[in-house]
Amino acid sequence: MPEQLIFAMEVTLNGLMAGVLYALVALGFVLIFKASGIFNFAQGVMALFAAMTLVGIMDGQVPFSHLINAIFGTDLHHFGWHIPALLAIVLTTGVMVGLAWCVQQFVMRHLVNQPPIILFMATIGLAYFLEGLSDLMWGSEIKNLDVGLPQGINLWIDEVTFNIFGYGFFIDNLDIVATIIAALLVVSLMAFSQYTKEGRAMRAVADDHQAALSVGISLNFIWVLVWSLAGFVALVAGIMWGTKSGVQFSLSLIALKALPVLMLGGFTSIPGAIVGGLIIGVGEQLFEFAIGAPYFGGATQNWFAYVLALIFLVFRPQGLFGEKIIERV
Amino acid sequence: MFYREAGDFKTSYIDDGQTFPIRFDRYRFYAVLAVAFLVVPFIVGDYTANAILLPFLIYAIAAIGLNILTGYCGQVSLGTGGFMAVGAYACYKLMTAFPEVSIFIHVILSGGVTAAVGVLFGLPSLRIKGFYLAVATLAAQFFLVWLFNRVPWFYNYSASGQISAPEREVFGVAVTGPHTEAWATYLFCLVFCLGTGLVARNLTRGTLGRSWMAIRDMDIAAEIIGVNPLRAKLTAFAVSSFFVGIAGALFFAVYLGAVEVGEVFGIQKSFLVLFMIIIGGLGSIFGSFAGAAFLVLLPVILKLVGVNLLGFPTDIVAHFQLIIVGSLIILFLVLEPHGIARLWNVTREKLRLWPFPH
Amino acid sequence: MLDASTPPQTQAETLLEVSNIEVIYDHVILVLKGVSLKVPKGGITALLGGNGAGKTTTLKSISNLLRSERGEVTKGRITYMGEPIHDSDPSVLVRRGVIQVMEGRHCFEHLTVEENLLTGAYTLGVSKAEIQQNLELVYSYFPRLKERRKSQAGYTSGGEQQMLAIGRALMSKPEMILLDEPSMGLAPQLVEQIFRIVKSVNENEGVTFLLAEQNTNVALRYAHYGYILESGRVVMDGLAADLRENPDVKEFYLGMSDEGRKSFRDVRSYRRRKRWLS
Amino acid sequence: MLDDSEGYVTTDGRKIGGVVMEMKNITLRFGGVVAIKDISFDIREGEIRAIIGPNGAGKSSMLNVISGFYVPQEGEVWFRGAKRPPMKPYEVARQGIARTFQNIALFEGMTVLDNVMTGRLTQMSQNIFTQALWKGKAEKEEVENREMAEKIIDFLEIQRIRKTPVSRLPYGLKKRVELARALVAEPKLLLLDEPMAGMNVEEKEDMSRFILDVNDEFGTTIALIEHDMGVVMDLSDRVVVMDYGKKIGDGTPDEVRRNQDVIDAYLGVAHD
Amino acid sequence: DLTIPALNYRTGPYAPSGIPYADGFSDYMTLINERDGGVGGERINVLECETAYNTEKGVECYEQTKGEGALVYIPQSTGITYQLIPKASADQIPIWSVAYGRTSAVNGKVFEWVFNLPVTYWDGASVAVKYAMEQEGGSLEGKKIALVYHNSAYGKEPIRTLEALSEKHGFELVLLPVDHPGQEQKAQWLQIRRERPDFVFMWGWGVMNQVAIQEAANIRYPMDKFIGVWWSGSEADVVPVGEGADGYKSLTFHGAGTDFPALQEIKTQVIDAGKGAGDGTKWGEVGYNKGVYTAAVVAEAIRHAQEMAGTASITPVQFRDAMETLEVTDEEFEALGLGGFAPAISLSCESHSSPRLAAVQQWDAEAGTWTLVSDYMEPDFEIVDPLIEEDSMAYADENGIELRCD
Ligand SMILES: Nc1ncnc2c1ncn2[C@@H]1O[C@H](COP(=O)(O)OP(=O)(O)OP(=O)(O)O)[C@@H](O)[C@H]1O
Ligand SMILES: Nc1ncnc2c1ncn2[C@@H]1O[C@H](COP(=O)(O)OP(=O)(O)OP(=O)(O)O)[C@@H](O)[C@H]1O
Ligand SMILES: [Mg+2]
Ligand SMILES: [Mg+2]
């Protein structure tokens, strides 16, 4: 087999894996959009906040220590304990639920029935707020996140492929774990939204706030629910990306990688997020490999994802799996 | 008390269609203009000009531009940073290629170049709507930044990859380059700001503005009653990019003087300008100014208060700044979802009725 | 024709009472200027009146959907079964049996017809089987919905959507339905059909209706009692049968002149003053 | 008398001309749903033509075909003696066909006056540069068109709400504003989709008067969909009846109301 | 008081790099103030201004602080440096970009107010190649070097130098840009895995550094062949990667660790006394030491300026003059408690950079320390200087600057 082809296969596989990581972030967006028609600009920052909180809890950091020290002249930093990863994840999930409740209580409930752009704007405010809060709470230094996920080349795949092709493929263990977790998340979320009464209510709220209110669906409850779910998904994404690149501000920028995925897959579709992620992942890696790096001098990933999404959208304006836009007069 | 329509009769449709139909508003506008042109230049210092007034004026131009596209025509754009970069680089190329031509013309031409690019990236808007359209504009954002970074021709093959504005003069007074006076740069930007404001106002109160708003409010119905969506959307993209391009040119040439594209015209800039119009008020020229003022001034004020008055460490102040700006945005929304402009209008309506509650 | 004489206003207990409410939108627009009405249990009460009279606003202030439109009840009180309800969340009200069918149908476009109906049962904490039973009941009133159960609500016709909206409300096993303009945009046959269904739901299931209508003619034929609202005030009320005989109501709401129905062609731009406005 | 291609005079003395618009064998499908099945009918100059039928019969779809918003899979549209080539909706509007919508489609973010003025867009010709300058040509054009708009506003008696944002108007007034927006385009053919839905008798009377006056004073041809049989029977010259995409009746109001198919499918009871 | 504005970035995407530096700079100045009562009797007033690494905020900081008698600006960002070069030149305030900013500012004949010491990117690229050559036994003929770089003006800085050097030494140069922010670098590292370059150089920034080092570890690239520039070689870049980062190398222009009397004094007199700018955890980190280095040189320049001017309260112009004749010998460093911390400095009117030496340091993941593994090396002046000359003359032409120092 020609070398280029083997490389292309390796790139494709890695692209698929990268796509799953994008999809994890996109999933959080989809959940909230589906349930409330809100384009949650703060999703990336939520992932950052979740990851920071997780690390903070694990390391026994004193929250707001910086502020406390500045005001009271104290010298607090650590509680001096160390909490196992699993327990810390549970605690952080609790914090994310609390955050969801706050979002509902202080933001969403005051904005029932407002047009999408206004809700979008509220999430911008939220993003600013959370960014400031996470820094103030945990400090803006980079933190190391290690919840025990395996990382590095998967030797088994390396060996197997080496025996077949004479060239061992590189697949990152972390990506494999991410793929499994993403698959689990997607299946359970889909089942939830399709087959449970809360799931149905979520979709109803997305269609028409007022009507949902009128049949007795408590928007407050649904919103706490979806924001909690989105918070949990953000935590998962935060763990994956944080393990990869450390926990610090830039983590929130992964949202930018999720946007083209979202648009390509459709804002409202959970499977769309996954399929979109895979297409973008593979597309941008292959493009960089075959065209970008050799002919354009590389670093094409950022815009290529968007251009790819754009091309798809021209043919399917609601995204691959998005709900058909009902246009009637 | 003075704020009344009553007794302020219009005798012609021309009077009725003017920019400030209420006399009090009109006089106030003239007063602001007089102060801006006749008083401020004599008292403005480096700090006020470079840290507050220039960014305010330039962002206001960009915000007006984006507001035309997003607020008036309903097309969400996240490509403002990229389009500003087009304006900046066009201006740089023009300034260095034709040094004898007036910078004034260069800035306007930069707007023209940006308008052309804007139309190109506006084409997908015919099929793609709403948040999905953001993808087209984001593609523009990332692609343009990449392009300006990639192709050395754009930065005249300089070793640093940065572009720096050479010195140019208007009426013998330097407005770009190192030896500028605060008042000169301020006036230069003010003229553009006023010009774009008036043009935007003219366009939005007339035929074109109505076809934009029709498309925004209900595009299908608009098409059925006779609005050509292609034309409406593309003109919106063109006009909007024109303004944004001018803002980009001024941002580079007059305000910063040197620019590295990814850092200055990145996606953050797109979001910043979008936030301005959303906070100021979509579909309102006044809102564009208000939003620009809000997001330029608020951080500065918070910083001055936090660091200089209260003496907090700078990083804590910076974190609080984010928290406060975020909370204020949310608070504004809860109180008045349609931005500062609407808040202002409601206050005005109450004033008009005053002292009666309804 | 049907005649509404049975549960007379006076005997039945009052289920809902609105007394002297004022509603302001956006902090400045005063819409209701002191509306009072009583809805007897088990009856059909009609709220009539022209455009912008405030019918929808009245219903929404009862069901507490006003707040989401930046409206506010600033005066007066609303009691349901003797208890004040103006602070209850809409979902609490639905649990307590008050549900609104909104003007303009408001179906969940992207859900199927059946899913739409199921959302109606959201507040019921009952078993699947009971919900299924409930669903069958609704389908028995609206066989058309059963045929279209799998299609997306966004693509159903106006009549079907109206049925769907009412059916959805029925799914919550309500005590009382606030029905806003059920006849709007429906073919005459369907209007009759829907009103007949309302009537039979009222009779068979004992559901109380408060219905806002423009179509005075039909409304007064099916309702027991009526209120006429104009510019945010109740200008007249009475038994439906009496209202139908009132000369003003006849002229302004039923389009009858002394010589019987007058042709729309003959209407000219004269305008008689309504007597109650004098 | 319907065969008279040159037109005829009605009992109340209005002159009805020849055929202006003819729909020939229109079939329209949405995926599996057949919204319109092989329907043909015509509209004559100066007449008021009603389209009635049960909900979901395809009436609005038919108007959408005329407006060019839906493109039928089969069939032809003839307008003023010529077969209409495929056209965008805005081009149709420029040919002098204006309409209102079933679910009010006003521009909610604009005032009444601006909404009405959008109806004049087909008549506006100034380019972007003159508009940017405003003073001069653009202003002149604006004022000329404003006069027309004001005329219609007066005619429909909505002067008082000129500067009100339409989102604040009650339903009935919105319908009237929509009519104003259509009328201000000075259409040859006016399509009204349920102009009286959600109105009480008094308002229907007002609306009827407007429709008749438009027809009388401007000689506008009108096609309207309406569910109120009283209105349809009183106003229209001829009525098309549709049921589930098929045409089941076509003729004068009297003929239609005696048609047994129509009674079964739509009226429920013989209407008198 | 003498005012030194500190345009720090303790927030934003690059805060992990900005915080240690800011702490180091402040803490050293605090030490000077506390221990010596300032320099020449004048206390040093460090005026912190938060830029979040954002150019506009940088401009605002500049305008805000320049009226307070700022002696020198240390912009802490290449972008801000470029903004400030014309402004500060017009306002006659010196700028010192500490191994970033405009490389050609080395030419004092053109850039009267700008200093770029101790070393420049182009020097760095050259030193990296020299080091690689040493490792390979003196020749790079037929070898392959990959450059992973931040796709921005900063990241592209070394390319020209490396191209010239590849021609001279006959190695192949593979360019691998990474777009901002750089969280996803699969494509680049798969390519490195395929092409197996003998060395990988990195001009990275922010999160890009950690990800690159992580990916290198993932593909098991030999870490001791992976060399970053000084902005890609601090604890923030390697700690998150953990074990995998062991053996990673980077360039540096100052000593690593805490074995210097001055640092120990900072620990006891500043941090332990509760007067530290930060929480003290950054003490001795690479970024912190960079801050200490910068502060020490500034303090020395002030002392020198005071001697020259004969007055304690000096002006920016006097500071500039002092910078242009600044000599910090090894002995003087020793006296400062920083013996062996950095090579001696000697500036002149023509040359606004000195000593233009860089060393290589290596990360020991287990011990969590950086150690210098090479001497301070000179760049290949033959290659670098003409490039500097060319670029600075172009700037002079463009801006009509008359050459000075004659
Ligand atoms: N959200 C709102 N904001 C401001 N004003 C409103 C709002 N909703 C309704 N109004 C005003 O309140 C008045 C009463 O409206 P309402 O909808 O209650 O009337 P209605 O009797 O239901 O009329 P219709 O028969 O047209 O439905 C109208 O004048 C309307 O313009
Ligand atoms: N855009 C569309 N996509 C799919 N189906 C459509 C679309 N528009 C209309 N239909 C279907 O076509 C059929 C006819 O619809 P239409 O709106 O024309 O009915 P109508 O006669 O106007 O009814 P009503 O009196 O309720 O307004 C309906 O079954 C409707 O669901
Ligand atoms: Mg109503
Ligand atoms: Mg219809």
- Cβ atoms of D111 and D163 within 8 Å: the answer is yes
CB-defined contacts A:B, below 8 A:
142
Chains A and E touch (3+ CB pairs under 8 A): yes
Q: Based on the domain organization, do C65 and C92 belong to the same domain? A: yes
| Confidence label for B357 from pLDDT (cuts 50, 70 and 90) | low
| Confidence label for D269 from pLDDT (cuts 50, 70 and 90) | low
Q: Which chains touch E (3 or more CB pairs under 8 A)?
A: A, B
Q: Please tell me if residue C30 touches chain B, with a CB cutoff of 8 Å.
A: yes
Q: Which of E173, E190, E221, E234 has the highest number of chain A CBs within 10 A, making it the mutation to test binding with A?
A: E190
Q: Based on the domain organization, do C92 and C185 belong to the same domain? A: yes
Q: Whose CA is nearest to atom 22 of ligand 2?
A: D60
Q: Based on the domain organization, do C85 and C194 belong to the same domain? A: yes
Q: In whole angstroms, give the CA distance from residue A205 to residue A35.
A: 6
- Tell whether C192 is covered by a domain: yes
| Confidence label for A119 from pLDDT (cuts 50, 70 and 90) | confident
pLDDT average, residue stretch E356-367? 94
The pLDDT score that the predictor gives to residue C278 is 36
| Confidence label for B352 from pLDDT (cuts 50, 70 and 90) | low
Which of C21, C22, C24, C25 to mutate to test ligand 1, by most ligand atoms within 8 A of the CB atom? C25
What is the end-to-end Cα distance of chain A in Å, rounded? 57
- For tokens 């390519």, the residue is E191
Ligand 4 centre distance from Cα of residue D59 (Å): 6
- pLDDT tens for A309-322 read 888 888 888 888 87
| Confidence label for B233 from pLDDT (cuts 50, 70 and 90) | very high
Low-confidence ranges of chain C (pLDDT < 50): 1-10, 270-278
Give the 3-state secondary structure percentages of chain E, helix then strand then coil, rounded to 5. 45, 15, 35
Q: Please tell me if residue A329 touches chain D, with a CB cutoff of 8 Å.
A: yes
| Confidence label for D17 from pLDDT (cuts 50, 70 and 90) | confident
Q: Please tell me if residue C156 touches chain D, with a CB cutoff of 8 Å.
A: yes
Q: Which chains touch B (3 or more CB pairs under 8 A)?
A: A, C, D, E
Q: Are strands E44-50 and E2-8 parallel, antiparallel or unpaired?
A: parallel
pLDDT average, residue stretch D159-185? 87
- pLDDT tens for B27-67 read 888 888 899 888 888 888 888 888 899 999 999 999 999 99
The pLDDT score that the predictor gives to residue C16 is 92
B251-268: b (≥16 Cβ within 10 Å) or e: bbbbbbbbbbbbbbbbbe
Ligand 4 centre distance from Cα of residue A32 (Å): 34
The pLDDT score that the predictor gives to residue E5 is 94
C248: nearest CA partner in chain D: D202
Q: In whole angstroms, give the CA distance from residue D188 to residue E406.
A: 87
Say how many domains are in chain A.
1
Which of A173-177, A322-326, E381-385 bottoms out in mean pLDDT, i.e. has the lowest?
A322-326
Chains A and B touch (3+ CB pairs under 8 A): yes
Q: In whole angstroms, give the CA distance from residue A325 to residue C90.
A: 29
Q: Tell me, what DSSP letter sits at residue E37?
A: S
Looking at the predicted structure, is the pLDDT value of residue E188 above 80? yes
Q: Are strands C233-239 and B258-259 parallel, antiparallel or unpaired?
A: unpaired
Looking at the predicted structure, is the pLDDT value of residue A51 above 90? yes
Cα torsion C51, C53, C59, C61 to 10°: value is: 130
The pLDDT score that the predictor gives to residue B5 is 54
Q: Whose CA is nearest to atom 18 of ligand 1?
A: C54
| Confidence label for E308 from pLDDT (cuts 50, 70 and 90) | very high
Output the six-digit token pair for B24: 């009090």
Q: Among C35, C103, B353, which Cα is nearest to D174's?
A: C103
Cβ D168 under 6 angstroms from ligand 1:
yes
Q: In whole angstroms, give the CA distance from residue E54 to residue E75.
A: 11
A11/E187 Cβ within 8 A: yes
Range of the domain at C205: 9-97+174-234
CB atoms within 10 A of CB A48: 31
- pLDDT tens for D119-131 read 988 888 788 888 8
The pLDDT score that the predictor gives to residue D223 is 95
* DSSP-assigned letters across all residues of E201-230: EEE--THHHHHHHHHHHHTT--GGGEEE-G
The pLDDT score that the predictor gives to residue C256 is 67
- Cβ atoms of C199 and C44 within 8 Å: the answer is yes
Looking at the predicted structure, is the pLDDT value of residue B320 above 80? yes
Say how many domains are in chain C.
3
Q: Give the predicted TM-score (pTM) of the model.
A: 0.90
Contact residues for C156 (Cβ-Cβ < 8 A; gap 6+): C107, C113, C148, C164, D56
Q: What are phi and psi of A153, to 5 degrees?
A: -65, 140
Q: Based on the domain organization, do C135 and C255 belong to the same domain? A: no
Q: Which amino acid is at D185?
A: A
**Domain spans of chain D?**
1-96+189-214+221-272, 113-186
Q: Which amino acid is at B202?
A: N
A121: nearest CA partner in chain B: B278
Looking at the predicted structure, is the pLDDT value of residue B326 above 50? yes
**Of ligand 1's atoms, which has the minimum distance to the CA of residue C232?**
14
The pLDDT score that the predictor gives to residue B25 is 74
Cβ C55 under 6 angstroms from ligand 1:
yes
The pLDDT score that the predictor gives to residue C277 is 45
User: Nearest CA to CA, how far is E190 from chain A (Å)?
Assistant: 7
pLDDT average, residue stretch B244-257? 95
Which of A107-116, D211-220, D250-259 bottoms out in mean pLDDT, i.e. has the lowest?
A107-116
- pLDDT tens for E76-114 read 988 899 889 888 988 999 999 999 988 889 999 999 999
Q: Please tell me if residue C231 touches chain B, with a CB cutoff of 8 Å.
A: no
CATH of the domain at C16: 3.40.50.300
pLDDT average, residue stretch A214-230? 90
Which of A150-164, B208-222, E256-270 bottoms out in mean pLDDT, i.e. has the lowest?
A150-164
Looking at the predicted structure, is the pLDDT value of residue D118 above 50? yes
The pLDDT score that the predictor gives to residue E290 is 95
A200/C111 Cβ within 8 A: yes
| Confidence label for B8 from pLDDT (cuts 50, 70 and 90) | low
Output the six-digit token pair for D219: 């000689």
The pLDDT score that the predictor gives to residue D89 is 92
The pLDDT score that the predictor gives to residue E22 is 95
User: Nearest CA to CA, how far is D133 from chain A (Å)?
Assistant: 32
C93/A216 Cβ within 8 A: yes
Chains C and D touch (3+ CB pairs under 8 A): yes
- pLDDT tens for D226-254 read 988 888 888 999 999 999 889 998 999 88
Looking at the predicted structure, is the pLDDT value of residue B354 above 80? no
Q: Based on the domain organization, do C146 and C273 belong to the same domain? A: no
Q: Based on the domain organization, do C34 and C76 belong to the same domain? A: yes
The distance of Cα B113 from the centroid of its chain, to the nearest Å, equals 17
Q: Based on the domain organization, do C80 and C107 belong to the same domain? A: no
Ligand 4 centre distance from Cα of residue D60 (Å): 4
- Tell whether C108 is covered by a domain: yes
A306/B142 Cβ within 8 A: yes
| Confidence label for B356 from pLDDT (cuts 50, 70 and 90) | low
Q: In whole angstroms, give the CA distance from residue D207 to residue D201.
A: 10
CA–CA distance from C92 to each of A218, C56, C134, E149 (Å)?
A: 8, 20, 21, 60
B196: nearest CA partner in chain D: D132
B158/E391 Cβ within 8 A: yes
Q: Based on the domain organization, do C145 and C74 belong to the same domain? A: no
Looking at the predicted structure, is the pLDDT value of residue A54 above 60? yes
- Tell whether A283 is covered by a domain: yes
Q: Chain-wide mean pLDDT for chain D?
A: 87
The pLDDT score that the predictor gives to residue B20 is 67
For residue A328, give the ligand nearest its CA: 2
Write the burial class of residue B100 (CB in 10 Å: 0-12 exposed, 13-18 middle, 19+ buried): exposed
Range of the domain at A304: 3-315
Ligand 2 centre distance from Cα of residue D98 (Å): 20
The pLDDT score that the predictor gives to residue B10 is 62
- pLDDT tens for B111-141 read 999 999 999 999 988 888 887 888 788 899 9
pLDDT average, residue stretch A159-177? 88
What is the CATH class of D1-96+189-214+221-272?
Answer: alpha beta
